[in-house]
Amino acid sequence: MIGRAQWIVAAMVLALVGGCHRPRHAAEPSATYPPPAPYGGYPAHSWGYPQPYGGHGPWGSPPPGHGTGPAAGPAAGGSGQGATAGMRAAAFAQSMQGRPYCWGGTGPECFDCSGLTYAAWRAAGKTIPRTSADQREKLAPVAMASLQPGDILWRPGHVGIYVGHGWVIHAPRKGEPVRSQPAQSYREAYRP
């Protein structure tokens, strides 16, 4: 049987050698890894997703048109002469980043997810169905490996506009503005 003095000695030894937890080696991730993403609407770390735009190390670069550079970046191809309707839709979606979410919104003041895709294609000169369910049902499916700027990406209950290089512009939910995110969470794609 262990006496009171032995318990005190055991507790002191544990405290001196680092407590109950195994010491962490400097190369191991800490409880705070990954570091929180900086504000800006795009993730700071790729989490196994290819780094867009030649990102270095664990930190990626923002999608075109986000942060610095023109609103219609190289992935979208801009909205000038020679741009396809998909490129124009993607450029429109990029230019709407930062606008607030509102249920049923088709812009330009605020958008919901399918309202953004609807408005982007309308700005590109083509009318598509208004709701995400109708967009999924009535537009032509596209293989995820064959995405082009302007394609509508779908996941249950949500859509966004593909802008190229693995990025989507979408209107996430109430309280969050239109912003970019990696396309990896989307399951299906449709082309107007």
Round to the nearest angstrom and report the end-to-end CA distance of the chain: 78
Active-site residue flag, 165: no
Gap between the Cα atoms of 118 and 106, Å rounded: 7
Separation between Cα atoms, residue 128 and residue 49, nearest integer Å: 30
The rounded Cα 81 to chain-centroid distance in angstroms is 29
Among 66, 110, 113, 165, the active-site one is 113
Of 66, 110, 165, 170, the active-site residue reads 170
State the residue for tokens 């705070």: 32
Check if 56 is active-site: no
The residue annotated as part of the active site, out of 66, 110, 158, 165, is 158
Integer Cα distance of 30 and 184 in angstroms: 26
Amino acid in position 38: P
Q: Look at phi and psi of residue 191 and say left if phi exceeds 0, alpha if psi is from -120 to 50, else beta.
A: beta
Give 147: exposed, middle or buried? Use CB within 10 Å, 0-12, 13-18, 19+. buried
Which residues does 62 contact at the CB level (< 8 Å), separation at least 6? 40, 42, 53, 68, 180
Q: Catalytic site residue 110? A: no
Q: Residues with catalytic annotation?
A: 113, 158, 170
